[in-house]
Structure 1
Amino acid sequence: MTPSPAGRAARGFGAPDFPWWLVALAALALGVALAIAFDPAYRQILSILSAGVVTTVLVTAMAFAGALALGLLVALAGRSRSRIARNAARFYVEVIRGVPVLVLLFWIAFAAMPLLVSAWNGIAAPLRVIGLAGELQVRDVSLLARAVIALVVAYSAFVAEIVRAGIEAVPQGQVEAAEALGLSRWQRMRHVVLPQAIRTVLPPLGNDLVAMVKDSSLVSVLGVADITQMGKVFAAGSFRFMETYSVVAYLYLLMTVTLSLGVRALERRLRARR
């Protein structure tokens, strides 16, 4: 007689929640780790790419922090009483989400940045007259800064949608109760809506952070010395493409899987508190 799914789960056979994928992933990671430990070529590649890890983490941290701040502002503008602010926020979200991140990266780095520099020079013209500021050149803005700005803009649209959904998930009765207590619109948002919305938006924001770690590899097209760029340069000079890109993938997997497991743990903890 075939045991029921519940019976198999109780005996440990075919338990649907057992993370076999994680076991397979751990085995794959162990294989690469052993290759790094015993193969001098892999150790050399890891040593070279370690500097790129710092750049990748720095780009991700700065871009995600900026995207959180800008996305929150866009989400609040989308909830504004002003029709102009609401439409401007919706226009921003739809345009940014409709453009590929790579295209946006090129556009901000090579099209928008010269315009921003020209605008800044026009605004700062009175300061240059009295010697308080010099003329800014496009080359003065590093490619790293341009890459971070592009990722901030790209992900702020997604963050804005996540925050908007989190705000709308707060029960309307709580907002009405806060209004009955005499709280202003800003006080309701600050003390009632946002604290509850944060619990809803944290897991999807964590998923966006994981996605940003991967998309940070796109900054390599600007010559930023992240993991991908360092790997590309080394592989082109040594012709060790298999070893180099295996280590590149290994490093990204370590970061993204660790973050993904953290997000899953956070989701379980938030569900347990409800």
Structure 2
Amino acid sequence: MSISLNFSSLLAAPHLDHLIAGIKFTGLLTAASWLLAFTLGVALATLRVSGNPVAERLVAAWVSYQQNVPILAHLFVWYFGIPTLLPDSMQSWINANNGELIFASIAIGLCMSAYFCEDVRSGLRSVPHGQHEAARSLGLSFLKTMRFIELPQAMRTALPPFINHTVILFKNTSLAMALGAAEVTYVVREIENQSFRTFEAYTLATAFYLAVSLGLMGIGVIVSKRMRTPSR
């Protein structure tokens, strides 16, 4: 039995156009999810070290919920469950404006915010408490102390796990195919169904995820070196 590999047919129209569209969708989904996860993660970490016991317990409960429920379940809840609670007019608007992207971004972003929160909180715990007390004694508010003193230092320590979770977030975008989102994995499956080039199609998908993941980790190494505090 002879094996014939043909990647050129998948890298020509119309398959190439579909693949590019899938890559663009994956990039947009990754960016939207990451922005939500980062913003919410930093806010949650700040609340968790605020000294307010109620806020700390609520954040801890949020982190526990997000980390212990499979991300696919989060996607199903947001895509199939949440819309049933919305007015019909809002449901119609979301469906007409790429609801798969909207709900997948929210589900992935909220889930990964719990991991980003823990990364930032670990970084904040590495900052000497004396710096917080010194800043407050100089008249800085809690938020200004966090913004100008503690968070910049915490991010240096939190960067390695932060990059790892960014890579995980990117890879988790492939789960959006379960919602019918036209990201890379979904598109590659459609190309495979049309071309019957199973090995070639999924090899392209594998190469894409591997290249982007390694690229993100490489960027993380470069940024870590630039942000590293010089030794004295």
What is the CA–CA distance in structure 2 between the aligned matches of 1:63 and 1:238, rounded to whole Å? 32
What is the CA–CA distance in structure 2 between the aligned matches of 1:111 and 1:89, rounded to whole Å? 23
What is the CA–CA distance in structure 1 between the aligned matches of 2:94 and 2:24, rounded to whole Å? 22
Letter in 1 for 2:54: I
Deviation at 1:252, TM superposition (A): 1.2
Q: Which residue of 2 aligns with 1:4?
A: none
Cα separation, partners in 2 of 1:114 and 1:74, compared to 1, 3 Å = farther
Letter in 2 for 1:57: G
Cα separation, partners in 2 of 1:265 and 1:176, compared to 1, 3 Å = same
Deviation at 1:265, TM superposition (A): 2.3
What is the CA–CA distance in structure 2 between the aligned matches of 1:104 and 1:138, rounded to whole Å? 21
Cα separation, partners in 2 of 1:271 and 1:189, compared to 1, 3 Å = closer
Letter in 2 for 1:244: A
Kept in 1, the 8 Å contact 2:177–2:183? The answer is yes
Q: TM-score, normalised by structure 2?
A: 0.87
What is the CA–CA distance in structure 1 between the aligned matches of 2:59 and 2:140, rounded to whole Å? 25
Gaps of 5+ in 2: none
Deviations 1:182-237 (A, max 9, x none): 32222221221112112222232222211111111111111111110100111122
Q: TM-score, normalised by structure 1?
A: 0.75
Match for 1:159 among 107, 110, 116? Answer: 116
**Higher alpha-carbon deviation: 257-266 or 94-103:** 257-266
Letter in 2 for 1:205: F
Identity fraction in percent: 33
Deviations 1:36-76 (A, max 9, x none): 8xx52242354531211111111001110011111112112
Cα separation, partners in 2 of 1:48 and 1:140, compared to 1, 3 Å = closer
What is the CA–CA distance in structure 2 between the aligned matches of 1:195 and 1:260, rounded to whole Å? 21
Cα separation, partners in 2 of 1:70 and 1:113, compared to 1, 3 Å = farther
Gaps of 5+ in 1: 1-34, 122-134
Match for 1:97 among 67, 71, 88? Answer: 67
Deviations 1:74-131 (A, max 9, x none): 112212333221111110000110011111111121113322x24xx8xxxxxxxxxx
